[in-house]
Amino acid sequence: MYDYAIIGGGIVGLSAGYALARRQPGCSILVIEKESKWAAHQTGHNSGVIHSGIYYKPGSYKARFARTGNESIISFCQKHNIQHDICGKVIVAANDMERPLLNNLCQRGLDNGLQVRKLSKEELHEKEPYVDGVEAIHVPTAGIVNFKQAAETFASLIEENGGDLRLNTKVQKITEKNESTFIETNRGTFETKTLINCAGLHSDRIAKMAGYYTDMKIIPFRGEYFKLKKEKRHLVNNLVYPVPNPDFPFLGVHFTRMINGEVEAGPNAVLGFKREGYRKTDFHAKDFLEVMKYSGFWKLAKKYAKEGTDEMIRSFSKKKFIQSMQKLIPDITGEDVEPGPAGVRAQALKSDGSLVDDFHIIQGKRSLHVCNAPSPAATASIPIGDEIAARILD
């Protein structure tokens, strides 16, 4: 019998285990992960940006947890010698029509308690000489980090505190009873007093397996990237973002200097035909049919038909993708980039077609289910873990 069993070995699940170990020394913790390594999916495929919280609605979990998470992940990295760099970022208005959107975003940053400031065109060029824009916001607290290394460190700390870590262990059935919950896996059955679902791309399925109706389904959106060739990395100093399109729920193509020195440009946002599909050709019949049969998806598709079509075109047209990059850095050509990695965002979608905009946690009888934790969940992983522990222990 374990005190706590966590399903999912990404950074959120491992942070939850770390929080429980800190708050309740001596408790027994089990972490179950179906892959052969930690941080195999969203955590290990993201761009490694430490977000500031500027984009999110004031008072929301995302806004609060991104800000406190920014501070706590930096402190954690400093303490455990994890690669990171608080390099700051600029958010750029490409033309005069985007100035009002930039002003609104700057005010939102101030409302969220961030030390953001406007940059003139000349000040922008001092920070990013090759970026074209009429005005920008400077966000000094944004940075980059190796989130995979952070997740692995959480795992090591759980193990040091007596936790039981199980890789290659896939959940097959969950039975929640009055006094405990039984988790049947390909490597035996485990009993726990409290189950914590941090299964990311499969969080809705785990919640359903435990007997909970969520009125939401995880829809996988693949984000594809290009990389600047080594001789062109000088075009980007740190992090360069466009002003977000208010009519589309993703941030748009941006430039990220990675912790290893590479510069990524992207992502787009296209529907994935497999929940863990990182290539255009990846397909899983069950995953695909679940999306196609879900009324919420078709309502979303109708609402964002034009934007969704543009994203699909960019996925198959390098020329269109380059044009998106040139909006910020006109000097970039198709010869300057090469194909980069891809990630998959686990986005919860309600049956009415609305995206679940905030982190979403469902409380069960003897379980707790983190059913929506897309970006900035890696940045916010420590406060999310603390929230999970507080809900269980308080």
- Whole-number pLDDT of residue 173: 98
Cross-strand pairs, 266: 254
**Mean pLDDT over each residue of the chain, to the nearest integer:** 96
169-191 tens-digit pLDDT: 999 999 999 999 999 999 999 99
The stretches of 132-275 forming alpha helices (DSSP H) are 147-160, 203-209
- Whole-number pLDDT of residue 170: 98
- Whole-number pLDDT of residue 246: 72
pLDDT of 252 strictly over 90: no
pLDDT of 248 strictly over 80: no
**What is the distance between the alpha carbons of residues 350 and 62, in angstroms, rounded to a whole number?**
18
**What is the distance between the alpha carbons of residues 13 and 33, in angstroms, rounded to a whole number?**
10
Report residue 15 as tokens. 């942070």
* Residue 219 binned pLDDT confidence (cut-offs 50, 70, 90): very high
Residue 45 CB contacts under 8 Å (≥ 6 apart), including other chains: 278, 341, 342, 343, 344
> Model pTM?
0.95
- Whole-number pLDDT of residue 378: 97
Please report, in angstroms and rounded to a whole number, the separation of the first and last CA atoms in the chain: 21
Report residue 94 as tokens. 């490409």
Peptide bond into 376 cis (omega under 30): yes
pLDDT of 324 strictly over 90: yes
If residue 183 lies in a helix (H) or strand (E), which one and from where to where? strand 181-185
- Amino acid, single-letter form, for residue 67: R
How many beta carbons lie within 10 A of that of residue 310, not counting itself?
15
pLDDT of 247 strictly over 80: no
Instruction: Compute the average pLDDT of residues 60-77.
Output: 97
- State whether residue 231 is helix, strand or coil: helix
6-56 tens-digit pLDDT: 999 999 999 999 999 999 999 999 999 999 999 999 999 998 999 999 999
How many beta carbons lie within 10 A of that of residue 21, not counting itself?
22
Is 204 within 8 Å of 216 (Cβ atoms)?
Answer: yes
SS3 content of the chain, % helix, strand, coil (to 5): 35, 25, 35
- Whole-number pLDDT of residue 137: 98
Is 70 within 8 Å of 229 (Cβ atoms)?
Answer: no
Instruction: Compute the average pLDDT of residues 206-228.
Output: 95
Residue 227 CB contacts under 8 Å (≥ 6 apart), including other chains: 262, 263, 264, 265, 337, 338, 339, 340
Residue 358 CB contacts under 8 Å (≥ 6 apart), including other chains: 57, 60, 61, 62, 372
**What is the distance between the alpha carbons of residues 251 and 268, in angstroms, rounded to a whole number?**
9
**What is the distance between the alpha carbons of residues 342 and 77, in angstroms, rounded to a whole number?**
25
Residue bearing the bigger pLDDT, 251 or 213: 213
- Whole-number pLDDT of residue 230: 97
Cα 211 to Cα 176, 368, 370, 392: the distances in Å are 8, 12, 15, 19
Instruction: Compute the average pLDDT of residues 305-329.
Output: 93
If residue 99 lies in a helix (H) or strand (E), which one and from where to where? helix 99-111
**What is the distance between the alpha carbons of residues 263 and 236, in angstroms, rounded to a whole number?**
7
336-353 tens-digit pLDDT: 999 999 999 999 999 999
Is 391 within 8 Å of 363 (Cβ atoms)?
Answer: yes
Closest CA to 109 of 65, 56, 44: 56
* Residue 329 binned pLDDT confidence (cut-offs 50, 70, 90): very high
Peptide bond into 339 cis (omega under 30): no
* Residue 221 binned pLDDT confidence (cut-offs 50, 70, 90): very high
